[in-house]
Amino acid sequence: PEEQAKVTAAWKEALARDDGSLGLYVHIPFCRQRCLYCRYFSVALGQKCELSRYLRALADEMEIYRKIFKGRPFRTLYIGGGTPAILSVGQLEKLFSDLYSAFDLRELKQTAFEGNPDFLDQRKLRLLKKRGVNRLTIGVQSLDCKVIKAVNRYQSADSFLRCFNEAREAGIENINVDLMAGLPGQSIRSGMETLAAVLALRPEMVHIHPF
């Protein structure tokens, strides 16, 4: 209770300076395995029940913040990780329901979601579209299978292409593709071939991050 009071007081002080452009970030820290290059907080998922426990804890935390942000509209919502796409369709639906119940999201301008292509299928993508996701970031990093293996990643070029096309079919407006340069085993040729293949799909944005 004492720590909660400190958090509440700090947020109230910050909100007194709010310029009307609040953004909400939700972190889902789980992945199938941790990639070599990852600099965010993420853990390899052990048992699926860990997801349910995490979502329950997240819902409890929302209840704390519900009172703090009452009457404060959010302009952006970003769900990242880890990979939030690891959640099932039912878990994603519950997450969005909890968020819309706890916060004023009626004036959202951007709802962003990031995910690994291996966990994004047609049902999840259609749900994301229904829930207002208008910016999808697909983590690819490289389409070179040797590079993917070297960084302890697991998606294939085929799974990425399937995911990208299904996201288009679902009607998601903006698709961003994340790539990396300078990965172990990656040559200039390998990197350029990946970039050319991604650009041929005409995504709305491509981010190239240094290793």
pLDDT tens for each residue of 53-88? 999 999 999 998 998 898 899 999 999 988 899 999
Does 44 have pLDDT greater than 90? no
- 94 vs 11: which has the higher pLDDT: 94
What is the structure's pLDDT at 74? 94
Q: Model confidence at 208, in pLDDT bands (50, 70, 90)?
A: very high
- 11 vs 101: which has the higher pLDDT: 101
pLDDT tens for each residue of 128-163? 999 999 999 999 999 999 998 988 887 788 999 999
pLDDT tens for each residue of 47-56? 777 889 999 9
Reading the block at residue 145, the tokens are 């299978």
CA nearest to 86, candidates 58, 57, 50: 50
